[in-house]
Amino acid sequence: MDSAMHMFLAGYQHVAFPDLSDSRIHDHPATYVKSTSLDLVPFQERGMDLPGSATLLLASFCNILGLYCASSDIMIGVVSADRILHGRFCWDAETVWGDLVDETRRSLDRTAAGPNFTESELKSELGLKEDQSPFIALFVLDGPQNVHIPDDLLRSPLLLFDPSAALLSFRTSSRLVQPAVTDQLLSQIVVLSVHAAQNLTSKISSPPSYPADFTSAVQCLSADARASVYEHIRPVVIATNFILPYVQADPNAPAVFWYQTLAAGPIDKLVPETLSYRRTPYPSQQTGSIPDISAVASLRTGLLCAWIATRCFT
């Protein structure tokens, strides 16, 4: 690996854009663009020029993506006039917004001035498949009229900031993001960027209070209201209720089978390791007694693992 690339990728684990679509089957995916207006006054009140505002928007975009992906170390492809810049952005629980914005600006400066790695080079070093991108998403740094996006990157989600129209746009595919989720994502970026502009010394780990219509139904609705939202989903039997009769009938029966190695050849020649229902992790195993219904109900995790394993390996 090239030394410059080695330094850039040191400790990095590839992060892909999450599946925020509403279907597992995408027979006819469509690329679409969603836009929302962006009030630049909060940025101007803090003395930020347009490049500074764009940098703050990029930092906010990175943080939102990090929340969706449960990562604080992500790689963005920054679309400049004549090329794609590779930007890696990291933060931790103690990072404040001002530090992330400054680091984002320095990262862009270093990337623009230093060696630029191609998408194929990054993909090769990260061991990605042909249809994978090293970038979780793209961000347009210049005005839309000044950029050209290569065909092989057109499938990547893209956030575009058009300062002349005070417009923030997100272009993606229905294969990745359901359109209503894109509206929510844009709104979250706007709220977070305004919060960051007004609170540069606050920690990133302390996010703002989002308006109810920018959050999920689980977060913003009461239990009764959530029930009405998801009333089209039929009730299901809890896995522990399904597995409980087996536990009571024969607690020493194998609950989990697994193979330490999977050598080539007939499966009947392989010797599995086993774990009985009695030995699954719940407190009653300390006394060697068979768990009663209340114990099983309060310790669903261990039994759920056992149930999943029996479905997968038997």
Q: Do 16 and 71 meet the contact criterion of CB atoms below 8 Å apart?
A: no
CB distance 66 to 132 below 8 Å: no
pLDDT, tens digit (0-9, with 9 covering 90-100), for 227-251: 777 677 676 666 667 777 888 888 8
Q: How far apart are CA 31 and CA 180, in angstroms?
A: 14
Q: Is 80 or 10 the better-scoring residue by pLDDT?
A: 10
| Beta strand residue intervals within 245-302, DSSP E | 254-258, 273-276
Which whole number is the average pLDDT over 40-59? 87
pLDDT band at 62 (very low <50, low <70, confident <90, very high): very high
Does 33 score more than 50 pLDDT? yes
The strand pairing partners of 258, in sequence order, are 273
Answer yes or no: is pLDDT of 208 > 60. yes
End-to-end Cα distance, the chain: 44
Could you count the other beta carbons within 10 Å of the beta carbon of residue 18? 13
| In the chain, alpha helices (H) | 3-9, 41-45, 50-69, 97-113, 119-126, 179-198, 217-220, 223-229, 239-249, 293-298, 300-313
Residues 6 or more apart in contact with residue 48 via CB below 8 angstroms: 56, 197
The answer to whether the beta carbons of residues 138 and 79 sit under 8 Å apart is yes
Local structure of 231: helix, strand or coil: coil
